Amino acid sequence: MDKILRIDMGASGGPAIRTEALGDYAGLGGRGMTSAIVAKEVPPTCHPLGTENKLIIAPGLLSGSAAVQSGRISVGCKSPLTGGIKEANSGGQGAQVLARLGYAAIVLEGKPADDTLYKMHITKDGVTIEADNSLKMLGNYDLVDKMKAAYGDQIACISIGPAGEMKMASATVAFTDPEVRPTRHAGRGGVGAVMGAKGVKVIVLDDTGCKMRAPADPEKFKAANKEFTAGLKKHPVCGQGLPTYGTNVLTGVINEAGAYPTLNFATGRFEGFEKISGEALAELENSRGGEGAATHGCHRGCVMKCSGTFYDKNGNFLTKQPEYETVWAHGGNCGISDLDAIALLDRLDDDFGLDTIEMGATIGVAMEAGIAKFGDVEAAIRLVKEVGQGTPLGRILGAGAAVTGQAFGIEHVPVVKGQAMPAYDPRAVQGVAVTYATSPMGADHTAGYAVTANILGVGGTVDPLKPEGQVELSRNLQIATAAIDATGMCVFIAFAILDQPETFQALLDLISGFTGKPMTGDDVTALGKQILTWERDFNKAAGFNAAHDRLPGYFKREALAPHNVVFAVKDEELDQVFNW
């Protein structure tokens, strides 16, 4: 992983390929790499779909090695959804394969003069790019089938669906899983629209003949990997809860807490939660059977296996196990309690290349606007299909919740910086809402996720009795998460490294065994702060200020049942989150 692949899509005579040394970007991976390049090379005030924006695809620092859970890949750009910097990350095989091919990043630059669509093919022997307009408006599933027919089934694909081609602000970049299905997505912020603007439909990766990336200190790396794996497997969340039920196990608990946004964030509990709970989903998947039913990893080298495979009533593959956020977005948020319908909506989103959170939130807003009734399954499916087909209504919905709210005159639009909130009502869990409000990414549940006792200590001692404790916690969590996102590690490792100091130490040893450089908790903190500083500076130069680090006003005004709480963190406190 010692080079960067740059393709100038606007070069005269067609796309121009060049490979560069890492230079200033040496030692960076994942979100560290994408945010560094965007911050340094993209004019903050440019149009996100214009020639000056760049799309960066970067595997994590440890991706392509034997390190477990190291299969996350970051996609960065100026976001067409938020207007600020964006890093969206994904599982799937893309990170491992791209890293083994030796690339620390692919950077798509410029913009074609016309609407020609291109496909790229990257192997150990080099890179080719060619026009292929036969791919136009193909869904991700048909597209990947076509690539398998052309290049064999030992490939990994990075692609966009029709939503990306139509440059919708909720469009994703899809990554194939170990079964070469386009089930994994860099979902947030409209990164797929930027790939569409670059005219790139698919990047086909084939690492045949490539070796696994070798650590600098093999003995230390091997021992740390073993210790780290054991730590994950013995942990009750990483080793038991997630493999058994997946992330959707949260539905029952969040609903019970009264923090489950229901009917477009109107209330905190959903009457039909039991039918769409993680337990019900796992029971349904297990009863239908099939390979990888309720337990499946999104990439090779995953030991947690928090995903699964959803087969329909007839035993045919439909989609991967819908995650908690997807089940919430298309389920409780829209008053829908039918798992088969939610799985179908997930499949449609994946095929069209749409962010499930943004689409579910958008349909919730549309339902409040009277476009459809809450709980109307057929209407929800029809609306997503309209987005995929690009009808006039579909174009509005595909632009996201904020635009849909504007188009239909709705105040209740649960967004921050234009990005829809995920599956936790900010009035109920106010510390997390601090992260929703202040993250440079817009409302994002993963922005403040990585929790370790060490990091909490490094970032400043937190007094749980003081109200500002949640601001300090959010700061520390955002710092730690930014650093984890740079490693390519799945954020779900957070629980094991929070509870088990020896597992956190194993992670540090794993990284230093791989790089050959010592790593401490302080180094992790410094990296996280650096990344956040790049991102905040970019947003500031793009026109963002403190007023953008706020939740919509109605969250302060309208109490959430059943606990009748409003968001009560003061603006002055929010302004202290990045005051380090």
Partner 1 sequence: MVASKQDTLTVELVVTEADLWRFFGLLRQGILVTTHLPSSLQQLLLVALEIPDAYVRERIQTVFLNGKAVDDIQGASVSDGDVVTLSAAMPGLVGATLRKGGQLTNLRSSLSHRSLSTETEAVAPGKVTVKLFNLVCAELGPSFLGRGVLLPGGHFKAFLADVWPELAPACIGARIGEKPVEAAVLPESVAPGAMVRLKVGTQTR
Among 460, 568, 571, 572, binds partner 1 (CB under 8 A): 568
Q: Taking a C-beta distance cutoff of 8 angstroms, is the pair 22, 104 a contact?
A: yes
Q: How many residues does the chain have?
A: 580
441 makes contact with partner 1 (CB under 8 A): no
Tokens 């049942």 appear where? 561
- Residue placing its CB nearer to partner 1 in the complex, 34 or 255: 255
Quick one: which H or E segment has residue 78?
strand 73-78
Q: Taking a C-beta distance cutoff of 8 angstroms, is the pair 413, 364 a contact?
A: no
Among 175, 424, 544, 555, binds partner 1 (CB under 8 A): 424
- Residue placing its CB nearer to partner 1 in the complex, 67 or 471: 471
258 makes contact with partner 1 (CB under 8 A): yes
- Residue placing its CB nearer to partner 1 in the complex, 140 or 430: 430
Is residue 562 reached through a cis peptide bond, with omega within 30 degrees of 0 on the bond before it?
yes
* Cα angle, residue 554 at apex, residues 553 and 556 outer, rounded to 5°: 75
Strand pairing report for 103-109 and 3-8: parallel
265 makes contact with partner 1 (CB under 8 A): no
Give Cβ neighbours of residue 554 (< 8 Å, ≥ 6 apart). 411, 412
420 makes contact with partner 1 (CB under 8 A): no
For residues 294 to 333, the per-residue mask of contacts with partner 1, x marking binding by CB under 8 A and - elsewhere, is ------------x-----------------x---------
Contact window for partner 1 (CB under 8 A) among 43-51, 91-99, 387-395, 461-469: 461-469
Contact window for partner 1 (CB under 8 A) among 93-101, 128-136, 442-450, 544-552: 442-450
Q: How far is the CB of 241 from partner 1 (least distance, A)?
A: 6
Q: Taking a C-beta distance cutoff of 8 angstroms, is the pair 368, 404 a contact?
A: no
CB atoms near residue 529 (< 10 Å): 18
241 makes contact with partner 1 (CB under 8 A): yes
Q: How far is the CB of 205 from partner 1 (least distance, A)?
A: 30
562 makes contact with partner 1 (CB under 8 A): yes
In whole angstroms, give the CA distance from residue 348 to residue 369.
23
Structural tokens at position 357: 């959170």
Contact window for partner 1 (CB under 8 A) among 112-120, 187-195, 278-286, 364-372: 278-286
451 makes contact with partner 1 (CB under 8 A): yes
Secondary-structure breakdown of the chain: helix, strand, coil percentages, each rounded to the nearest 5: 45, 15, 40
In whole angstroms, give the CA distance from residue 124 to residue 324.
37
Q: Taking a C-beta distance cutoff of 8 angstroms, is the pair 244, 266 a contact?
A: no
Q: Taking a C-beta distance cutoff of 8 angstroms, is the pair 277, 251 a contact?
A: yes
Q: How far is the CB of 456 from partner 1 (least distance, A)?
A: 6
In whole angstroms, give the CA distance from residue 159 to residue 139.
10
Among 277, 295, 487, 503, binds partner 1 (CB under 8 A): 277
Q: How far is the CB of 439 from partner 1 (least distance, A)?
A: 12
* Cα angle, residue 268 at apex, residues 324 and 355 outer, rounded to 5°: 35
Contact window for partner 1 (CB under 8 A) among 243-251, 291-299, 332-340, 529-537: 243-251
Backbone CA torsion sign across 375, 381, 386, 387: positive
257 makes contact with partner 1 (CB under 8 A): yes
489 makes contact with partner 1 (CB under 8 A): no
- Residue placing its CB nearer to partner 1 in the complex, 256 or 411: 256
Structural tokens at position 419: 């990005």
Applying CB under 8 A, the residues found at the interface with partner 1 are: 236-237, 240-242, 244-245, 247, 249-250, 252-254, 256-259, 274, 277-280, 283, 306, 324, 424, 427-432, 445, 448-449, 451, 453, 456, 462, 464-465, 469-470, 473-474, 477, 492, 494-495, 498, 562-563, 565, 568
